[in-house]
A and B are shown apart, each in its own frame.
Chain A
Amino acid sequence: MSRYINARKRRKYKGVQFIEFSLILPIMLYLMLLSIDMGRLVFLSGIVHDAAFYSARQGAIQGGALGVSEDAFSQAVSRFPGSPTPSGFTIQSGAVCSRGDNIVRVTGEVETTLITPGLRSLLNASSTISNEGPWRLKATGIGYCEISRQ
């Protein structure tokens, strides 16, 4: 079909592709950033969950979550490429293993920065979390105290 279009018309449409491409480019870049960020979040979320369970397990082996678990959590998280920052760690139960308190339950938190503009508010659509600052991922891990029995 194009061979029927004369030279004058071709000149008229010169650069249209460039304009169309420049229109679609921001959308493409946005989708690319979005997929990178979502992938990172899923991967990091897995790391935080594993780290929380690992630290609970370490606490359970050592006779309590106090002192041991937080280090274990930081160590486990630091294996993630880019070393995300552990931003919180809470012992919910099993600080010191005893007959009445025999489940170590810990919650670890990690923060990361999202690179996609607007993704934070998109993810926060139904929550009351502030749209400022880094994104926080939280996970709970549990472990059963290994109390030695004679």
Chain B
Amino acid sequence: MRYRGSRGSRLRLKSNKGVAFIWFTLMTLPIILFFCALTIDAGRIYMTNRQAGNLVESAALAGVQSDVVDLGGKFSVTSRFEAEQRINQMITTGLDSNALTGVKPNVITEIFWGINDDMVRVTLQYEMSGLVFDRLWGYQDLNYSAKAVGYVCAPGDESVPSNGYCSRTIQ
């Protein structure tokens, strides 16, 4: 004879009906929402970094397009001051025209020159605003940065160094 279970166990089974579904929903929904928020944040961070990369690249190129001086086959910018003015002008124009979106206004620009003033490295430091996990994870304390290197190239030399960008029409 097949065991059909006591009356008590049948009642317990009946009373537990649907509980698994509620548990499943309660457990999975926050996880799904967590990953949705994470994906949106990651996408925004990636996009902003890409925009910042483009902006800083333009700024570095503008820097090495200053007037140049020929030092026996090697070329360098005549005036660092003028070059840095251009770099800052490009960054400001980019920020004003929304070429970089979703960042807080406290953007920091760092400029580093090579020994012979023939290379400039521009670093843009920024903080993201409006991330989903801003308050939860302390993302607002994180600094993001993008950097680009610009070289003063010899006239006619259009070969772009692998680790940077080259100003092309300096004469």
Contacts and interface: CB of A to CB of B under 8 A. Distances in A.
Interface string A131-150: 00000000111111010111
A46 B51 CA distance: 8
Interface of B: 2-5, 9, 13, 32, 39-40, 43, 46-47, 50-51, 54-55, 57-58, 61-62, 65, 67, 86, 89-90, 93-94, 97-99, 167-171
Nearest to B63: A144
21 contacts: A1-B13, A4-B4, A35-B39, A38-B39, A42-B43, A42-B47, A45-B47, A49-B50, A57-B61, A105-B93, A140-B99, A141-B58, A142-B58, A142-B94, A142-B97, A142-B99, A144-B90, A146-B170, A148-B170, A149-B171, A150-B171
B50 A50 contact: yes
Given A38-B39, A103-B89, A105-B97, A144 B65 contact: yes
Contacts of A31: 32
Given A6-B4, A56-B58, A105-B93, A149 B46 contact: no
A53 interface: yes
Contact of B54 (A49, A92, A107): A49
Nearest to A34: B36
Contacts of A146: 65, 167-170
Contacts of B39: 35, 38
Nearest to B40: A38
A33 interface: no
A4 B47 contact: no
Contacts of A119: none
Contacts of A68: none
Given A6-B4, A46-B50, A105-B97, A38 B58 contact: no
A144 B43 contact: no
A40 B171 CA distance: 43
A141 B3 contact: no
Given A4-B5, A144-B62, A146-B65, A38 B43 contact: yes
A114 interface: no
A46 B47 contact: yes
A140 B98 CA distance: 7
Nearest to B21: A20
